[in-house]
Chains A and B, each alone.
Chain A
Amino acid sequence: MSTREMTMVEALRDGLRVAMHSDPGVFLIGEDLGIPGGFGGGFTVTLGLAEEFGHARVMDTPVSEIAIIGAAVGAALVGMRPIAEMQYGDFVFCGMDQVVNQAAKMHYMSNGQVSVPMVLRLPVGASARGAQHSQSTEAWFMHTPGLKVVCPSNPYDAKGLLLAAIRDNNPVIFLEHKLLYGGKGGRKESASAARVVGVPDDDYEVPLGTVSVKREGSDLTILANMLMLHRAMEAAEVLARRGILAEVIDMRCLTPLDMQPLTASAQKTGRVLIVEEDNLTGGWGAEVAARLNEVAFFYLDAPVTRVAAPDTPTPSAPILEHEYVPSVERVIEAAVRIMAG
C-alpha cells in the first residue's frame, strides 16, 4: 500500500474521494462545497471534488442547516449515503431537531424498517473566532442514543474513520478540529497543531467504536481527544522527563464507547486524567469518569480527574482563549497533583 504525506484536510478529502469512487450512492451536501472559484467547504475539505464528481454529487445548498441535515436524513432513508457538512460545528444547533429527533430515532421508531446511513461533519474547536464558531459539541451527541460519535486526532485516523463512518448504517457525527486540519492543500490556521503523516492512498477503514493507545505508561492514564490528544502527548513527554510514565489513549470514538481498554489501563496505572476541550459540565469526560468509577474504583489510587474548558462560552481574545482551552501546562499540573495524591 503506497502512502503519501497528508494533512488532515488532505486525508479527509482523499477519504471522500475514495468513498465517492467506490459507491455511487455517496454524495456531499452543504454550503459552499463546490462553488467554482469558491473555497471547498468551510475548511477546503471538498476543494476540487465538484470538478471530479460533478455538482450534483457535491451539492451546494442555501444557508439552511435544517434543510441540509434534513435532506441528508431523507436521502439516507431511500438508500443514499449522504455526507453533510456544517460550515462550523456550532451551526448544527440550527438543525438539531433533524439530528436528535430525526436521524437518531428513525431506525428505532420504525422497529428497524429504515436506517439512516449518513455522516454529519462538524468543524469544531477554539480558533480565535469567539463563542459561536468555537464550541466542541461532542457531548451533545454522545448523549443521544442512535448516533455514533467520532473525533479523530490525526490524518491517518481521519481518513480511515471517515470511510468507516460513511459505510456505517447509522448516522455518524464526525467532528474535525479546526487546528488539526493543517495547511498543505488547505486552509492553515495560525495556531495549527497539525501533523503531516503518511496516509495510505488506498481504501482502508479504521473501525468505529475504538480508542487507540498512543503511548504506553505505567503511572498514569491520560484520556484525550482531537487537539487535546496532542496536548496530552506533549505533557506526557515532559512528565516522562520528571519520571512520571503516562499512558495516553486517543478517545477517537466516543459512541460506541470502548470501555475495555480504558478499564484495563485504569487498572494498570491506578490513576486517570481526562483532557477535553469541551467545557467541564456534562462533557464526555464526565461520562467516562462515571463509568470508570463503576468498573475500576477499587483499582484507583486517586480520583479520576478532568482538565476541561471552564463552564463559560468560548472567549475570542487570544489571551482569553488561551486561558479557556486546556494547555499542556495544565495537563502537567493536574498529572503531578494526581501523582502526589
Chain B
Amino acid sequence: MTQPLLQVSNLRVEFNSSQGHVSAVRGLSYSINEGDSMALVGESGSGKSVSALALIGLLPKKTSKITAGSVKFRGKELVGLSEKELRKIRGGSIAMIFQDPLSSLNPVLTIGQQITEQVRAHENLDKKQALKRAVELLDLVGIPSAKVRVEQYPHQLSGGMRQRAMIAMALSSKPSLLLADEPTTALDVTIQAQILELLANLQKELGMSLILITHDLGVVAGFTENLTVMYAGNAVEQGRTGEVLANPQHPYTTGLLRSIPRLDRPRADELHPIPGVAPDMSIIPAGCPFAPRCESASDKCRAEKPALETVLPGRHVACWHPESTSSMNASVTR
C-alpha cells in the first residue's frame, strides 16, 4: 500500500481560557490519499475547523496547543515543526481557503497585489512575471476579464468573485492538499453551485487532494469521495461518502440525516430533531459524548468511551451499538 498524503493520528487540541481548559479536538484520526477528497462534517463546536487549523499551525499560540497526536504529510511529521518550516508548507504544499472571503482578503491591497505576494513568497519570480501568473490564476478560477479584476480591490468584487480570488490565491503555489473550510456557507445557493463545480474541476485537473469542511450534508454528497463525521472533537463515523449517507451506522449521523428536510424525498410529515444540545466542551464526560442525546444509549455508553471500530467493509464507527447490529438485534427480538 502506498503511503497516504496526509495521516492524522490521535490528534488532540486544547484551548486555555479564563474559564478553564477546553478540549476541542479529542483524539482525531484520519488519512487522505494523493488526489482524494474527504469531507469533515460536524456542527459548530465539533472541532472540524480547529483540527484543520492545527494541521498547518494556524492556531493561536498563546491560548491553544496540540497536546498529543501526530500529523504526517508525505511521511513528514508536522507537529512540533518550527514556524519557519511550517510557513514553507502552509501556502505551499498545503493551502487553505476560508468561509468568509471578505474578511480573509486585505481590503487595502488589490487582488493582484495579494496574489503576487503569495506567488513570490514561494517562487522566485519578478513582479511582472508574478502579475502575469496572477492573471493566469484568475483565468483558471473563471473570473471574467481577469486583467481588469487583478487591479481591483476586494470590495469591488461580489461574494462569489471574492471566493474565486481566494481559491486563485490558494492555488498559486500548486498545493497537493487544499483545506476548504466552509467555502460556500456565506454564498447564495446558485453561487455555491458555481464554486463547488469549480473546486471539483480544479481538483480533478490539478490532481490535488481536498479536505472539505462543512456542516451541509448535501454539499458533501456530490463533491467528496470519503466522509468523516465529527461530534464533540471526535470522529464518530468514517467511510465512503455515498455509503455513509445511504446507510449511516452511528446514531448521530442517522440523527443528522433524519433532522433535515430533503428535496429528494417526498415531504415528511414531521422532522425528527436530535434531542438536547451539543455538549459543553470544557467538561469531558465519561463514556460516549453523544450518549446524553442518543436514543439507543445504554449503561455501557455512559461509562465507557467507544473507539472507532470497523463495522462494515471500509466503515469505521465509534459506537457500542452501531445501527447494523442494533437493527439485527431488533429483528432477532421481533
- Asked if A and B are interacting partners, one says no
Q: Interface residues, chain A, CB within 8 Å of chain B?
A: none
